[in-house]
Amino acid sequence: MKSITASQLSKVFPNGKRALNAINLSIDEGEIFGFLGPNGSGKTTAVKLLNGMLQLTEGSCSVFGIDPASAPEKVHALAGVVTEHAQMYNNLTGFQNLLFFGEVFGINIDETKRRALEILERLSLLDAKDQKLLEYSTGMRQRLSLARAMLHQPKVLFLDEPTSGLDPESAQSVNNLIKSLAHDKGTTVFLCTHQLRYAEEICTKYGLINEGNMLATGSFDELHALVSSKLMVTINADKYEVDSQEEIPALVKQIVDSGGKVYNVVARKYSLEEIYFALNF
Ligand SMILES: Nc1ncnc2c1ncn2[C@@H]1O[C@H](COP(=O)(O)OP(=O)(O)OP(=O)(O)O)[C@@H](O)[C@H]1O
Ligand SMILES: [Mg+2]
């Protein structure tokens, strides 16, 4: 069964704004799907539709076969959501917040404690577990929000800009956690971000969105093929394009034969960022 689907999914807000325009999604279990687009492109709107927090205008969507609009509680039972403004309690400690949400999810107290401590450790929050949330920094809060979303071991995790406020070290530990959830537990991750370099590090599939329209979906190689079949070769500081790496030795020979010196050769594909801009403009 597909983990997440959307068919011709559209959302028009009461003020007439068409935030999503007939988008299609088909995401397999265990995939880390990067939903990439600039500010205002419709990413958060899609997350809200998929979690039953907003009603769709046209089309349909599902999470493990469940329609989020008609059975939001069933989606919440198997999904975890991290948004920019997670609702947690400022006057409770980090640990107490997790215990509270464990109870909301109906997990027994000992199991909640065990899971909470394990997740806090993995997110480097163990030392801060007895501090009140109001004393947490933005990055600590963001990581606690992820901890909360993981507590009931969801089959799908929706992460809306999970590393936007994190320093490189914390971002790395969040990345590692996301990757291991997908690889080891088969958790599907729906990751919204406009940080393309970050996405390229962890995502297995992509959807590129702009102004509510899906520009392209697919794996890195599929997206790359849409833009170019070429390899970019930099020799010393000069740029060349070739069809395959087999052409590189001849290119180097040609330069050497004509009296040039070669100190440095780098061949690479387009980056996700370059693909994105090539598709977008
Ligand atoms: N409740 C609302 N009423 C009217 N328009 C809205 C509402 N919520 C969002 N929008 C508009 O819908 C569009 C998409 O917004 P959305 O929050 O989904 O974008 P986003 O891709 O998550 O952006 P960001 O990267 O800034 O988080 C924007 O133009 C936004 O102004
Ligand atoms: Mg958003």
> Which band of pLDDT confidence, cut at 50, 70 and 90, is reported for residue 208?
very high
User: For ligand 1, what atom is nearest to the CA of residue 212?
Assistant: 14
Give pTM, 2 decimals.
0.90
Kindly state the average pLDDT of the residues 18-44: 96
User: Does residue 45 have its Cβ closer than 6 Å to ligand 1?
Assistant: yes
Three-class DSSP category at 18: strand
Query: What pLDDT, on the 0 to 100 scale, is given for residue 109?
Result: 96
> Which band of pLDDT confidence, cut at 50, 70 and 90, is reported for residue 172?
confident
CA 112, 115, 118, 123 dihedral sign is: negative
> Which band of pLDDT confidence, cut at 50, 70 and 90, is reported for residue 112?
very high
Give me the chain's average pLDDT, please: 93
CA distances from 205 to 35, 129, 161, 253, 272 (A): 9, 34, 17, 38, 11
Q: Which residues have C-beta under 5 Å from ligand 2, the single-atom ion?
A: 43-44
Contacts of 136 (CB under 8 A, 6+ apart): 94, 128, 144
Three-class DSSP category at 207: strand
User: Does residue 207 have its Cβ closer than 6 Å to ligand 1?
Assistant: no
Query: What pLDDT, on the 0 to 100 scale, is given for residue 246?
Result: 94
> Which band of pLDDT confidence, cut at 50, 70 and 90, is reported for residue 168?
confident
Which is the CATH superfamily of the domain at 4-224? P-loop containing nucleotide triphosphate hydrolases (3.40.50.300)
Nearest residue (by CA) to ligand 1, atom 30, is: 40
> Which band of pLDDT confidence, cut at 50, 70 and 90, is reported for residue 171?
confident
Contact 66, 225 (CB under 8 A): no
Query: What pLDDT, on the 0 to 100 scale, is given for residue 87?
Result: 80
Query: What pLDDT, on the 0 to 100 scale, is given for residue 162?
Result: 79
In the predicted model, is pLDDT for residue 194 greater than 80? Answer: yes
Gyration radius from the chain CA atoms: 22
CA distance 69 to 58: 12
User: For ligand 1, what atom is nearest to the CA of residue 209?
Assistant: 21
Kindly state the average pLDDT of the residues 231-252: 92
Each domain of the chain, given as residue ranges in start order, spans: 4-224, 229-271
